[in-house]
Amino acid sequence: MNIANMLTMLRIAIVPLFVLALFAADGHDTGWRIGATVLFAVAAITDRFDGQLARKYGLVTDFGKLADPIADKALVGAALIGLSMLGDLAWWITIVICAREIGITLLRLVVVRRGVIPAGRGGKLKTLVQTLAIGVLLLPLSGGFETAGMALMYLALVLTVATGLDYVGQAVRVWLAGPGRAKES
């Protein structure tokens, strides 16, 4: 157990607290929504730091490789599902984003024996825009702020689909290259 893994564990522990805050007082109480947003922000920020710490100080572990993406998907999935349950986000958006995340995770498991596809800039941008969109939509805002949040969410949706398709293409190339060859290139 190192600091990077402890931050990942903290992020996992924040998810149920975030959900409780999001749904408190019927999900639309200003104070609870701000609290849920703060918890979401803390978890999102720790995601940034745990990866940097792990790489910079050689703290990368098998546990971290497994737990970090689980923590990410649990947080984003809980936020999207919660917002949809509260009527603040269309279900189709939640379904598309969650289906992409689950599908790519399963694809990674299939392809990993033939090679690893590193996270690219597009995936990092997708995560950033998803996080910003969710953060804005969690806040008890209306008018132009709500519109801006939805615009960010639509951008996140486009990036989610585009990077998902790109990842599928990369996975096909790795698979066709055969075991071991993709790791050499």
Residue 3 has pLDDT above 80, yes or no: yes
| CATH number of the domain to which 51 belongs | 1.20.120.1760
DSSP 5: H
Confidence class for position 180, pLDDT limits 50, 70, 90: low
Residue 115 has pLDDT above 90, yes or no: no
- Other C-beta atoms closer than 10 Å to the C-beta of 165 total 11
C-alpha neighbours within 13 Å on the C-beta side of residue 30: 2
Q: Which residue has the higher pLDDT, 85 or 173?
A: 85
- Other C-beta atoms closer than 10 Å to the C-beta of 33 total 22
Alpha carbon distance 71, 69 (integer Å):
5
Residue 158 has pLDDT above 70, yes or no: yes
pTM of the predicted model as reported, rounded to 2 decimal places: 0.90
Residue 33 has pLDDT above 90, yes or no: yes
Average pLDDT over residues 162-176: 92
Average pLDDT over residues 110-132: 85
Contact 126, 164 (CB under 8 A): no
Residue 116 has pLDDT above 80, yes or no: no
Ranking 31-35, 83-87, 168-172 by mean pLDDT, the lowest is 168-172
Count of domains for the chain = 1
Range of the domain at 146: 3-184
CA 149 to chain centre: 17
- Other C-beta atoms closer than 10 Å to the C-beta of 95 total 13
- Other C-beta atoms closer than 10 Å to the C-beta of 183 total 11
Residue 117 has pLDDT above 80, yes or no: no
Residue 143 has pLDDT above 70, yes or no: yes
**CA-based nearest residue to 71, from 8, 136, 159:** 8
Alpha carbon distance 13, 54 (integer Å):
19
pLDDT of 95: 98
Residue 181 has pLDDT above 60, yes or no: no
Amino acid at 110: V
